[in-house]
């Protein structure tokens, strides 16, 4: 999955992960770690998940597919995303939709943070 990366999460499944009604600094909720990809799940339920990621420079997620749409919002830095055969650089304040069942990969040329929203369809 990740090249030379140790993905670490701070919350287990089924637990309350984000306090309701509180304003949060998304960028500050996940920290960079040397030679790693750090993740923190904020919301997880039957509808899907919302997860923060911090990629150190040089880290990547190899090509894979997901059975549902995934919306990436870059919060800090810039990441390189391959969706199908199209390569896009996505920077802070930009978003990219990765369609269900289409191969995609992520590469960090520099450190970057992203928010990933995955929504399950009624069929899935």
Say which CATH number the domain at 87 has: 2.60.120.10
CB 63 within 8 Å of CB 103: yes
Task: Using DSSP, state whether 28 is helix, strand or coil.
Answer: helix
The phi and psi torsions of 114 (rounded to 5 degrees) equal -140, 155
Domain range spanning residue 53? 28-119
13 in a domain, yes or no?
A: no
d(CA 34, CA 27): 17
112 in a domain, yes or no? yes
- Going from the C-alpha of 12 to that of each of 17, 21, 28, 82, 109, the distances in angstroms are 9, 21, 20, 29, 29
> What pLDDT shows up at residue 16?
47
Give strand pairing partners of 116: 51, 72
CA-nearest of 96, 116, 111 to 51 is: 116
Residue 62 clears pLDDT 90, i.e. is over it: yes
Res 96: pLDDT = 98
Total domain count, the chain: 1
User: What gap in Å lies between CA 117 and CA 82, rounded to an integer?
Assistant: 17
- Name which residue leads in pLDDT, 63 or 11: 63
**Is 2 part of a structural domain of the chain?**
no
**R_g of the chain, CA atoms, integer Å:** 14
Q: What is the pTM of this model?
A: 0.83
Provide the mean pLDDT of the chain. Answer: 87
């Amino acid at each position: 999955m990740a090249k030379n990366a140790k993905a670490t999460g701070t919350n287990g499944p089924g637990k309350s992960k984000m306090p309701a009604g509180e304003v949060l600094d998304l960028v500050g909720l996940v920290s960079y770690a040397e030679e790693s990809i750090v993740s923190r799940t904020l919301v997880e339920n039957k509808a899907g998940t919302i997860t923060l990621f911090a990629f150190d420079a040089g880290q990547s997620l190899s090509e894979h597919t997901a059975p549902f749409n995934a919306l990436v919002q870059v919060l800090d830095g810039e990441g390189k995303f391959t969706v199908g055969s199209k390569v896009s650089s996505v920077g802070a304040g930009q978003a990219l939709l990765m369609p269900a069942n289409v191969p995609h990969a992520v590469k960090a040329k520099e450190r970057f943070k992203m928010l990933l929203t995955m929504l399950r369809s009624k069929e899935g």
